[in-house]
A and B are shown apart, each in its own frame.
Chain A
Amino acid sequence: GESVGLHLPTLSVQEGDNSIINCAYSNSASDYFIWYKQESGKGPQFIIDIRSNMDKRQGQRVTVLLNKTVKHLSLQIAATQPGDSAVYFCAESRSSNTGKLIFGQGTTLQVKP
């Protein structure tokens, strides 16, 4: 069936290193992808998004890469900081009319000082 999933449940990195969080999706009809960060006890917070007609988009310390050939999405965080410790979710949208998102299970990022 269709799904959005993440390759690893937990990622542990050293402070200052770069982090890469991966996500696989199964529906080639998806036209919008988004990354959220969720800290403990809080709601998801928008990080960055990308449309299907792009393969890369950069924000402040974050980059999202989209590979439609293998249906793969990644989030790169540069110079990871302790404040980046959280659960990261990717989500895809298959209907721009409703804006409905389908979320993956999430990857926990642990930043070691």
Chain B
Amino acid sequence: NAGVTQTPKFRILKIGQSMTLQCTQDMNHNYMYWYRQDPGMGLKLIYYSVGAGITDKGEVPNGYNVSRSTTEDFPLRLELAAPSQTSVYFCASKRLAGGGVVAYEQYFGPGTRLTVT
């Protein structure tokens, strides 16, 4: 298994441009998440999905959109890039809990480093 993969690794955008960050997982996990990590800080949740066709906002959703048409893919869309969106973006996935297990850990991808100038 490749786990969680993200592309691109790095990207520089001009203000007002748009782009899509790709995230794919091959573990058949139901749950997927997008976080951003600003320098010296913890991760903040942007959007999440509990299954194909279902998405919901996290803590910092403004300026972003997501879709989940398949179990494997969870792309994050930036429509009008702003300098405040300069950050490292992490995608994560998690299997559905059950069978007496209340929760499982999230598996993270390697991240996409985005700079908006």
Binding site for B on A (CB under 8 A): 4, 31-32, 34, 36, 41-46, 49, 51, 89, 91, 93, 96-106
B103 contacts A32, C-beta separation under 8 Å: yes
Binding site for A on B (CB under 8 A): 4, 31, 33, 35, 40-45, 48, 50, 56, 58-59, 90, 92, 94, 97, 102-111
What is the bound-complex CA distance between A104 and B43, given in angstroms?
8
B56 contacts A51, C-beta separation under 8 Å: no
For A103, the chain B residues whose CB sits under 8 A away are 35, 42-44
What is the bound-complex CA distance between A32 and B101, given in angstroms?
11
9 A–B contacts, CB within 8 A, in A order:
A43-B90, A43-B92, A45-B108, A51-B102, A98-B50, A99-B31, A99-B104, A102-B45, A103-B42
User: Contacts A99-B94, A101-B45, A104-B42 hold; do A42 and B110 have CB atoms under 8 A apart?
Assistant: yes
For A45, the chain B residues whose CB sits under 8 A away are 108
What is the bound-complex CA distance between A102 and B48, given in angstroms?
13
Give the residue of B35, B43, B56, B105 whose beta carbon is less than 8 angstroms from that of A46.
B105
A100 contacts B45, C-beta separation under 8 Å: yes
B45 contacts A43, C-beta separation under 8 Å: no
User: Contacts A42-B111, A43-B90, A104-B42 hold; do A99 and B106 have CB atoms under 8 A apart?
Assistant: yes
Give the residue of A31, A105, A106 whose beta carbon is less than 8 angstroms from that of B102.
A31
B43 contacts A89, C-beta separation under 8 Å: yes
- Give min CB distance, B24 to chain A, whole Å: 14
Most buried by B among A36, A49, A98: A98
What is the bound-complex CA distance between A34 and B107, given in angstroms?
12
- Give min CB distance, A97 to chain B, whole Å: 8
B40 contacts A100, C-beta separation under 8 Å: no
